[in-house]
Chains A and B, each alone.
Chain A
């Protein structure tokens, strides 16, 4: 059976990766998950300087999912290069570094610091709904997205994945903009902007008021958007949004994704990534499919 997929010249042993922000840099999950089995680890977003993130409460459960407003807390690229990349290099998996910033300059600072690092790809977060300045503003206007993508591509040594926001009018236009800017791949969906109110305490549950909605409940939205985006562009699409099982992953592949990411499911079941990989293999056996590329694309 062949489950390997190719994204921008990088060969992944299987199409399953972690969704940024749900898996740290793998360190915390290494007790429970064999990182060698994963197609790739996509790290939590890293910026040029350390970010403190938002006040707490930062997370809330909702029916079939959760809200988060972490605010991209991270130790900054220097610590990341010293600590997280060497850790991940011990494993036989691909390393995709998620990059965040408040400004184009901040993105470029990280992209340039990564140039001589042994990583396989970078994913640019232009779609975080939880930081006030930057991030999402680059991901909601196709012209701005195309420009940012061009700038990053001009400086990046590794293939660039642009991570798209679902909080847009036309995901197709955003996918086309990323492609026009030279992106090697796109990933979607980032979280949907949500809100939860505690009616007894008469307060917003999250200190940030709004947060990114993720989990099984968002899957139909994600599948639809992956379908629309992947049919608009020629570059590979990494699909995510509510994937918890092999069947969920296959649904995204049929919608047009080349690979998938497992996010919130890691919180519900730490071994979710391994379970998704096994589930895809079980599906291929049951459907007598020898090569994952032969899974029908609708």
Chain B
């Protein structure tokens, strides 16, 4: 199913700031035809002093036009530089990386594997963008819960088109005041399976919530990476059982992840 990993040039098609420190980037790339929900790309900066690829999740694809979208936060010097690139700029991209939801659920057909199960799609902060491609991949409209720190929302209108949207903000300016779990409780959202990406505190709370409510949770993990392809062992996560590749209780987020059954990882 998966194509060979490769590093190749891509051209910036458009780039815009959609919230404070949040940028939406469309690139023209052959990876658009291969990208699956939950996967990510390694984006190199056009600067020899910044060696490593930035792992950035895939937010959306337009296969017909060969376009792929990443929505990222300017967290450091590298992403700030990326945010300054104009349309037409060529960048180097390593892809497609990570397992995605299909591999995590050990299926070629996400909808078939889910059957009648109701999905709750949850995104928190900069973990929101990859959930758009994920929500779009589902035949049955999911319940969508997005958590922001304040009213400076992004992507919410696009999520509204693909599911039943609920919003939580830490400062209470929009939707439920509090966390995504608070929104799930307040809006009495029910489901069988959770797909989630967001900060570690959120993922821990979701793991706990899913366990208490007899739900299955698939969570997307993040870690600093060097190679992005499983060689350097930089981006590991503790696992409950011994990992089949590493033979210790550590798994490679860039290859075996970033999507994991929450019960398999020790977070």
Contacts and interface: CB of A to CB of B under 8 A. Distances in A.
Given A29-B229, A61-B78, A75-B248, A66 B48 contact: no
B7 A270 contact: yes
A268 B235 CA distance: 16
Contacts of B249: 52
Contacts of B226: 59, 66, 68, 264, 267
B76 to A, nearest CB: 8
A52 B248 CA distance: 6
Interface stretch (A19-27, A105-113, A152-160, A229-237): A19-27
Interface residues of B, number: 35
B2 to A, nearest CB: 10
B5 interface: yes
Contact of B247 (A61, A75, A267): A75
A203 to B, nearest CB: 13
A103 interface: no
A53 B246 CA distance: 11
Interface string A193-218: 00000000000000000000001100
A261 B49 CA distance: 20
Given A32-B6, A75-B248, A267 B224 contact: no
21 contacts: A32-B6, A53-B236, A58-B224, A59-B52, A59-B224, A64-B48, A64-B51, A65-B51, A68-B226, A68-B232, A70-B233, A73-B248, A75-B247, A215-B51, A216-B48, A216-B51, A267-B52, A267-B53, A267-B232, A270-B94, A270-B227
Interface of B: 4-7, 44, 48-53, 78, 94, 223-237, 245-250, 255
Given A57-B223, A59-B234, 8 more contacts: A22-B232, A28-B255, A56-B234, A61-B50, A68-B234, A73-B233, A76-B247, A270-B7
